């Protein structure tokens, strides 16, 4: 939800401008692009490179947090730019789209991709480097792979994505976005319309869950009729799911999926499945079917919670989601 910040102070720091103030509308949930107004009457769009919060109450920051002062640091639009402090700073949101994209679905056949993508769900007190412990992939190989397949495309202004076909028209995508902050996004789409809808994303300021467990199980059933590489991709979608508590059935399905990934050490399946499922647990999560919005949840960070300050979904988006599944 875009925000409006009433300015209480501006600090010019060489090539950076720090703007402090109080939220009067919307919500601030992390770095995003903003519109600022100059004293010369010219507006500029800039990206919040970092922020600080004085006297925080909760997250995200809301107008009701009266004691909270938010400071947004941006790169100065020009060396002589001076902010018009009588006008509010307007947020533009964290979710932007890039028409320049490149499909990299082939990476799901590469063991290094799995070591890179799944390690964040496999961290534990006993295992600090899951990529090495479970996949036998050293950090150097991981970094080289990321630079070649992801970072090099970002440098060229291109966002890579993996597309998993559900049928001749419907698909689910994992998009690697380099907008205001790096986001691994989950989309569903239909090429007949054409249309895509964002269900959630991994990032420093994540928005999850993207999927219900029942939806992941449906994906698993559909993808099991696909080539092997697409079957294992269920794990990518599962990483966008949250569950109230683990179940033996879920751990067993996760073990079976790990066993199909090339390069995974066979004696590590149980530990991997336990750690992976454990990373999905949100005890207070509840899903319910709403007559207007379809399946929604109560988690404050989820796109699929129409009351969440982070959700950018419209009623039409929720209708599309219901029809898709």
Report the C-alpha gap between 236 and 261 in whole angstroms: 12
Q: If you write DSSP's letter for every residue of 116-158 in order, what string do you get? A: HHHGGGT--SS-S-HHHHHH---HHHHHHHHIIIIIHHHHTT-
Contact predicate 164/227, CB 8 Å: no
Final residue before a domain boundary, out of 70, 91, 112: 91
Q: Does residue 96 sit within a domain?
A: no
Q: Within this chain, do residues 213 and 186 fall inside the same structural domain, yes or no?
A: yes
CATH of the domain at 25: 2.40.30
Predicted local confidence at residue 228, as pLDDT:
53
pLDDT of the chain along its 325 residues, tens only?
678 999 999 999 888 999 999 999 888 888 788 889 999 998 988 888 889 999 999 888 999 998 899 999 998 999 899 999 999 999 877 677 889 999 999 999 899 999 999 998 998 888 889 999 999 999 999 999 999 999 999 999 999 999 999 999 999 999 999 876 789 999 999 999 999 999 999 988 899 999 999 999 999 999 888 765 567 889 999 999 999 988 888 999 999 999 888 888 888 889 999 999 999 999 999 999 999 999 999 998 999 999 987 888 989 999 999 999 9
Contacts of 307 (CB under 8 A, 6+ apart): none
pLDDT tens digits, one per residue of 90-127: 987 767 788 999 999 999 989 999 999 999 899 888 88
Q: Within this chain, do residues 124 and 70 fall inside the same structural domain, yes or no?
A: no
Q: 137 lies in which domain range?
A: 101-324
Final residue before a domain boundary, out of 47, 63, 91: 91
Q: Within this chain, do residues 77 and 140 fall inside the same structural domain, yes or no?
A: no
Q: Does residue 171 sit within a domain?
A: yes
Report the C-alpha gap between 166 and 140 in whole angstroms: 35
Domain count, the chain: 2
Q: Within this chain, do residues 168 and 48 fall inside the same structural domain, yes or no?
A: no
Q: Within this chain, do residues 29 and 130 fall inside the same structural domain, yes or no?
A: no
pLDDT tens digits, one per residue of 180-231: 678 999 999 999 999 999 999 998 889 999 999 999 999 999 988 876 556 7
Pick from 253, 243, 241, 199: nearest CA to 216:
241
Report the C-alpha gap between 120 and 307 in whole angstroms: 28
Strand 4-13 with 16-25, pairing: antiparallel
Report the C-alpha gap between 111 and 263 in whole angstroms: 6
Pick from 16, 179, 153: nearest CA to 93:
179
Final residue before a domain boundary, out of 69, 91, 113: 91
Q: Within this chain, do residues 237 and 186 fall inside the same structural domain, yes or no?
A: yes
């Amino acid at each position: 939800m875009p925000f409006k910040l009433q300015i209480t102070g501006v600090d010019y720091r060489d090539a950076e401008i720090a703007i402090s103030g109080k939220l009067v509308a919307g919500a601030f949930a992390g770095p995003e692009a903003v519109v600022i107004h100059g004293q010369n009457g010219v507006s500029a769009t800039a990206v919040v490179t970092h922020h600080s919060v004085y006297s925080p109450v909760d997250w995200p920051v809301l107008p009701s947090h009266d004691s909270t002062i938010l400071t947004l640091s941006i790169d100065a639009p020009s060396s002589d730019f001076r902010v018009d402090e009588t006008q509010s700073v307007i947020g533009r949101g964290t979710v932007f789209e890039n028409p320049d994209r490149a499909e990299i679905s082939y990476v799901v056949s590469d063991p290094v991709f799995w070591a890179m993508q799944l390690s964040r769900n496999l961290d534990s007190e006993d295992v600090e480097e899951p990529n090495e412990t479970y996949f036998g992939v050293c950090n150097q190989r991981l970094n080289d792979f990321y630079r070649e397949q992801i970072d090099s495309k970002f440098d060229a202004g291109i966002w890579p994505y993996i597309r998993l076909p559900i049928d001749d028209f419907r698909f689910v995508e994992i998009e690697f976005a380099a907008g205001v902050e790096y986001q691994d996004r989950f989309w569903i789409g239909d090429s007949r319309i054409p249309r895509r809808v964002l269900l959630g994303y991994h990032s420093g300021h994540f928005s999850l869950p993207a999927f219900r467990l029942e939806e992941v199980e449906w994906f698993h059933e559909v993808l099991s009729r696909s080539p092997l590489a697409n079957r294992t991709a269920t794990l990518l979608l599962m990483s966008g799911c949250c569950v109230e508590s683990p179940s033996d059935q879920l751990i067993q399905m996760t073990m079976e999926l790990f066993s199909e990934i090339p390069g995974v050490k066979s004696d590590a399946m149980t530990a991997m499945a336990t750690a992976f499922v454990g990373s999905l647990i949100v005890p207070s999560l509840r899903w319910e079917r709403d007559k207007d919005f379809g399946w929604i949840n109560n988690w404050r960070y989820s796109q699929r919670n129409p009351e969440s300050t982070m959700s950018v979904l419209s009623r039409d988006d929720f209708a599309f989601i219901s029809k898709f599944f």
